[in-house]
Structure 1
Amino acid sequence: MSSTAYMDASEPDAMRRRVGSFLFMAVFLFLWVSIDPYVDLTGEAVLDPSAGNSSRLNQIFALLLSAGLLGYGLMHPMRGMILQPRALLAVLYSWFLMVSLISAHPMLGIKGVVLSVMMTVNASIYLLLPASERHFARMLGLGTLIMLAFAYYGILFKPTLAIHQASELREPMNAGLWRGHFPHKNSAASAMVLAAFFGLFVMNSWSRVAGLAIFVLSFLFLVNTGGKTSTAMLPAILLLGWLFEKMRPLRAVIVIGGVGLFNLLAVGSAVFRSFGEFISGLGIDATFTNRSDIWRFAFSALSERPLTGYGFRAFWQTEELVYSGGSVETWAVAAANGHNSYLDIALAAGFPGLLLALPWLILLPLRDIARIPADRQQAPLTRLFIRIWLYTIFHAGLETLFFEGGSFIWFTFVFALYGLHLQSTALLAEGIVPARRKRVAHA
């Protein structure tokens, strides 16, 4: 069985293990718990477009952790893996930067691109921190249990901050739904789906008791978030992952065809009214929880700038959009994002940006999975990465998940991409391995 360490065959020294463990847990808790949990959503500040700006303390922690990860990664024998594939990512992020520089909000775009690059670098180093697969499973399990403890602590002892209230200004209709220490029920729901995947992996790689506890607690919390999409996607992704594993010749069809069809059903039903009526006739909610107005508005805006888009982070929640006034699509104008990752990439960087992103997000992982040796195709580690990948690319059809600089979902997705690549290239260490072998997985 392979691991996430992928280091030289020699045992890592105690100092490297301690540093790796500290960085692993610090990054996990920073992203999954944050330094400011239990956000109050009842204040008027939540309606301000600039209210989401990170605090100075949050920025300091992010920079310190990024510096620590980069220092660890540069001293690692596999430092060549950092920020791969570099040619594609260089072109992709250069395009993001260029369209941002010519946008109405260049500084927002530059900041967004820098944060996204930092997150990608950090995620490319993250799987080099554990010393073995069991070490990875133990730290992932402990981190997830701490996250769940924060979530349930809020429900029990801080209900006004951990459960949506009717007094909230933005979405009072969510009253009674659980969000724990997360800022919104949808974020909490996504976290619990990923935590459930972690639990299944921990059950098979470290502790059955801890893994089962993680899965049960995550599922219980997920149901109480009211996140219908995420709740339905948990069993759907487990089933899809099983089909993906068993039907190797149809993997490309399942992923490319499935993502394409899912987006056609969602966005297509909003943009093309006749198609939307057809979907409604099948008993499917063609509005996809009132997202149709947003998608129609987004497509209308995209049609005006299809090549360069509006710049990275320079469309949704800008002051001129939120305070435009007099618009028929009031809800769409005030939306925090486009609720579709693929559409938001096109809005930010035009269709060329979307075409540059899709190979990294979908095609290269498919190639890496096809290259994973048969004895590791059904390994718990491989299954974990595939489930994270499948969940994110399908869920991206209904939420904005890609290239989000401070998002735990985006970070988890990116390290899963690197995990699939490492699984496809690592050699299983048996006995003494020649020093020239760089990519080695510990048994």
Structure 2
Amino acid sequence: MNAGRATWSAGSVILLLLLCYFWIGLTPFAHSDGKGGLPSTGNLLNQMVIIVLFTMAIANLWRNPGRSALFSPHALLVLILLWFCFVSLLSFDPATAFRRIVYALLVCGCANAALLLPRDSRDFARVLATGTVVILLLNYFAVIAMPTVGIHGSNEVEAALAGDWRGIFGHKNAAAAGMVYLVLFGLYLRKASYPRLGSIIAILAVIFLLFAGGKTSTAMLPAVLLLSWLFEHCRPLRALLTIGLVIAMNVILIGLSSSPATSSILASVGIDATFTGRSSIWAFALARISDAPIMGYGFQLLWGSEFLRDITTESWAFLAAHSHNSFLETLLNGGFPALILMILWLLILPLRDAGEAFATQNDVGLTRLFLRIWIFSILLAGLENLFFVNNGPLWFTMLIAVFGLRLQAGASLQSRQ
């Protein structure tokens, strides 16, 4: 192997640090109560670390001609952030909202910069392989050596989850979703210079996924692989397979959960029509949205706030940490204007970019990785709060896919011979 290829560049080291920060965090074995609340942007250490990582990434890219791709599409992202600033300014807690908006901006910058830091596709694959191995080892270590941390216990708030693996994640649902991403990483690495390691990563991630007990993520994995294959080979069906499926999924899930007749039918065949209690939270969120459909309640402010406790106690759902649906959450954060802008950014543009990327044959393996991550993320968004959840790996990884598809549509990581 060429010595130059074996050397870790400064950009590769920064990329590995970014992966470790978002996937592992500063306290990987210190879980919360598993409710999956809002990012701890008030934590001074986390704020300092993200600022340092963002600064390091930008400094490394300062002379890189690709730096113009940061925060692309620029105008759309500016509109999204400005709208969140505007509605938050009129909210009940502007200061908290602005801190979280700044944090969100830094996370977006880090995710976008992550793809511009490696020198070529071999560098990217090597960093991804290294980071993925470390993440998997820590998760298995938590399960085997620290089961009180790595496995849900019967003494927790959600006692029904006892025995489900969560590893270094705060909740088994997050662990299951994370393992799906790791499977996709492994499948990519199998084709990118690491055939044996990629296969081992994929197998270990699948095993962890099964023991995590995340039924939704487990069912979505084969669906994502099928949908990505169909997307690649059936061009006329691309919009239907992605945007159409997301719309249908959200309408059907929320509609089924709110219909007593349908709920009874589903219950009679052994299907949880509440979708693990989500139906009450969705109904509660829809009621709040109807009260503020245009402005929402400010960026990441509603759940857990004194404002919410003051206006209602009509349902236990007001105690929830979030709405368990990214589209409903966006409506709560910024109303319908925010939802329209987010759909343009996270659904419409990636759909177009993926099509253009496959048309250019620009490193098809990398495009396929980003496509699979994107499809899984937009499907998961119908059942979990994903957008702008800046702690943990899920939003960061989705951002990498969204920015990655845009880069692949017009450029590519170099492949050195």
Q: Are the structure 2 counterparts of residues 374 and 50 from structure 1 closer, same or farther at C-alpha, using a change threshold of 3 Å?
A: closer
Superposition pairs of residues 1-150 of structure 1, within 5 angstroms:
18-41=9-32, 52=40, 55-150=43-138
Cross-structure match for 2:409: 424
Distance in 2 (alpha carbons) for counterparts of 1:378 and 1:286: 43
Q: Deviations over 1:346-390 (max 9, x none)?
A: 011001110111011011111112212546278211110000000
CA RMSD, Structure 1 to Structure 2 (Å): 2.6
- 1:363 is the counterpart of 2:325: no
1:358 and 1:133, CA in 2 relative to 1: closer, same or farther beyond 3 A? same
Runs of 5+ in structure 1 lacking a partner? 1-12, 428-438
For 1:440 and 1:206, the matched residues in 2 are separated by 15
SS at match of 1:205: coil
Which residue of structure 2 lines up, in the alignment, with residue 430 of structure 1? none
Deviations 1:16-71 (A, max 9, x none): 952111101111011111110112446xxx89989955532222211111111121
Given that 2:38 and 2:389 are in contact with CA atoms closer than 8 Å, whether structure 1 keeps it comes out as no
Structure 1 position 246 matched with structure 2 position 233: yes
Within 2, Cα distance between the matches of 1:155 and 1:248? 43
1:4 is matched with none
- Matched AA of 2:296: G
CA distance in structure 1 between the aligned counterparts of 2:307 and 2:159, rounded to whole angstroms: 25
Give unpaired runs (5+ residues) of structure 2.
Answer: none
Check whether the contact 2:12–2:118 (CA below 8 A) recurs between aligned residues.
yes
1:312-354 Cα deviation digits (max 9, x unpaired):
0111121343x55983421x11111000001100011001110
AA in 2 matched with 1:234: L
Match of 1:409 among 387, 390, 394: 394
Report the 3-state secondary structure (helix = DSSP H, G, I; strand = E; otherwise coil) of the residue aligned with 1:179: coil
Task: Judge which range, 343-352 or 73-82, deviates more.
Answer: 73-82
CA spacing shift, 1:64–1:198, aligned 2, 3 Å: same
In structure 2, the residue matched to 1:211 is 198
Amino acid at match of 2:343: L
SS of residue in 1 equivalent to 2:191: helix
Q: Is the 8 Å Cα contact of residues 262 and 397 (structure 1) preserved in structure 2?
A: yes
Q: Is the 8 A contact 1:119 1:406 kept in 2?
A: no
Q: Distance in 1 between matches of 2:274 and 2:178?
A: 24
Distance 2:150 2:13 in 1: 28
- Spell out the pairing of 1:215-234 with structure 2 (5 A cutoff): 215-234=202-221
Q: State the distance in 1 between where 2:315 and 2:191 align.
A: 49
| Paired residue total | 415
Q: Tell me what 1:345 maps to.
A: 330
Could you say which structure has the greater relative contact order, defined with CA pairs below 8 angstroms and 6 or more residues apart? Answer: 1
Name the TM-score, length of structure 2 as normaliser.
0.92
Q: Which residue of 2 aligns with 1:176?
A: 163
1:294-443 mapped onto 2 (5 Å cutoff): 294-321=281-308, 323=309, 327-330=313-316, 332-374=317-359, 376=361, 379-426=364-411
Deviation at 1:410, TM superposition (A): 1.0
Q: Is the 8 A contact 1:178 1:224 kept in 2?
A: yes
Q: Between the two proteins, what is the percent identity of the paired residues?
A: 38
Q: Is the 8 A contact 1:403 1:410 kept in 2?
A: yes
Written as runs of structure 1 = structure 2, the 5 A alignment for 1:148-159 is 148-159=136-147
Q: CA deviation at 1:124?
A: 1.4
Aligned letter for 1:195? L
Report the secondary structure of 2:170's partner residue. coil
Q: SS at the partner of 1:372?
A: helix
State the TM-score, normalizing by the size of structure 1.
0.87
Shift of 1:405: 2.2
Aligned to 2:248: 261
C-alpha distance in 1 between matches for 2:389 and 2:278: 20
CA distance in 1, matches of 2:80, 2:361: 31
**Residue of structure 2 in register with 1:289 after alignment:** 276
Whole-Å Cα distance in 2 between the matches of residues 250 and 51 of structure 1? Answer: 37
Q: Quote how far apart the aligned CAs of 1:93 are.
A: 0.8
Q: Distance in 1 between matches of 2:66 and 2:175?
A: 34
1:5 matched residue in structure 2: none
Matching residue's letter, 1:312: F
